[in-house]
Amino acid sequence: MTDRGLDADGFIAREGSLSRVPARFAPVVDAARGRIAASFDGSRLHSAYLYGSIPRGTATPGVSDLDLLLALHEEPTPADREAADALEAALDAEFGQVDGVGVLLFGTGTLLSELERHDLGWFLACLCTPLLGPDLADGLPRYRPTSLLARETNGDLALALPGWRTRLHTAAPDADLRPLNRAVSRRLVRTAFTLVMPRWGGWTSDLAASAEVFAAYYPERADQARLAAEATRTPTPDRATLTTLIDDFGPWLAAEYLTVHGEKAPRP
């Protein structure tokens, strides 16, 4: 793999592996595997995947969360969501190594669909590590850091802005704004990176590195990208930071993205 996250043929390399899971997190991953199998039988579950800092080997005990994606034979039902919620709560309560557990649920039809080929399909093939069952990536193409990939992964930032703005400006004076800050900052840094990804010619999930890659192309917005990257590591309840990100950096980034890559294909 090259230093820009590509394999020898110039395709984005799958970034995680079970062999990279830090020793402190191995019991969490083992428990997740067992509980997923117990919660979703073979008639429901096709396969399960890890993603995020744990399979990348960069997780920090007590800080990092456990991220899981479950591919179901059919589209998720409310009962599936209830089972996933129970799984999240049980793992989060049992293991102090993780600060939160998140489980994404999708049907295999969605994950392999043409509409999701350059969004969820790419996400599974390049950012997810197989944990249980056959690997759906075998039925997906290889991916390069193209404008099409940029458009379909983050070309819908404008849709998120009104909701963030409402949450910020209607929050009570004593509200804990750190979860919102973390979510907003992560999305903005990833969008800023993919804005310039085709020009840079590679892939990284490192948010600090992502901000620096963006800064090289848009130095006039570098401080805001770095502010967002710092907030992903140490979320702050500061309203001024969120106001800057949501009311200034976010709208500019959404407009520039639309100009450079176009709008993401609408979802049903």
Residue 233 pLDDT > 90, yes or no? Answer: no
Q: What amino acid is encoded at 84 in this protein?
A: A
Residue 216: which region, alpha, beta or left (left: phi > 0; alpha: psi -120 to 50)? Answer: alpha
The residue type of 87 is: L
The answer to whether residue 173 scores a pLDDT higher than 90 is no
- What does the angle CA 47 – CA 207 – CA 20 come to, to the nearest 5 degrees? 45
pLDDT 10s digits, 91-115: 999 999 998 999 999 999 999 999 9
| pLDDT exceeds cutoff 60 at 2 | no
Nearest of 98, 193, 215, 181 to residue 149 by alpha carbon: 193
CA dist 10 and 40 (Å) reads 37
Q: Which single residue is written with the structure tokens 């579950």?
A: 45
85 confidence band (pLDDT: 50, 70, 90): very high
Q: What band does 34 get if pLDDT is binned at 50, 70 and 90?
A: very high
The one-character DSSP state at 166 is H
| Tens of pLDDT, residues 178-213 | 889 989 999 999 999 999 999 999 999 999 999 999
* CB neighbour list of residue 95: distance below 8 Å, 6 or more residues apart: 27, 28, 31, 66
The residue-averaged pLDDT of 35-41 equals 95
Given a contact cutoff of 8 angstroms between Cβ atoms, the answer to whether 132 and 37 are in contact is yes
**Looking at the predicted structure, is the pLDDT value of residue 172 above 80?**
yes
Alpha carbon distance 241, 200 (integer Å): 28
Q: What is the pLDDT of residues 133-157, one digit of tens each?
A: 999 999 999 999 999 999 999 999 9
Angle CA 55–51–265, to nearest 5:
150
257: Cβ–Cβ under 8 A, 6 or more apart, which residues?
150, 154, 155, 157, 191, 195
117: pLDDT strictly greater than 80: yes
Task: Give the span between the Cα atoms of 32 and 45, in whole angstroms.
Answer: 14
CB atoms within 10 A of CB 30: 11
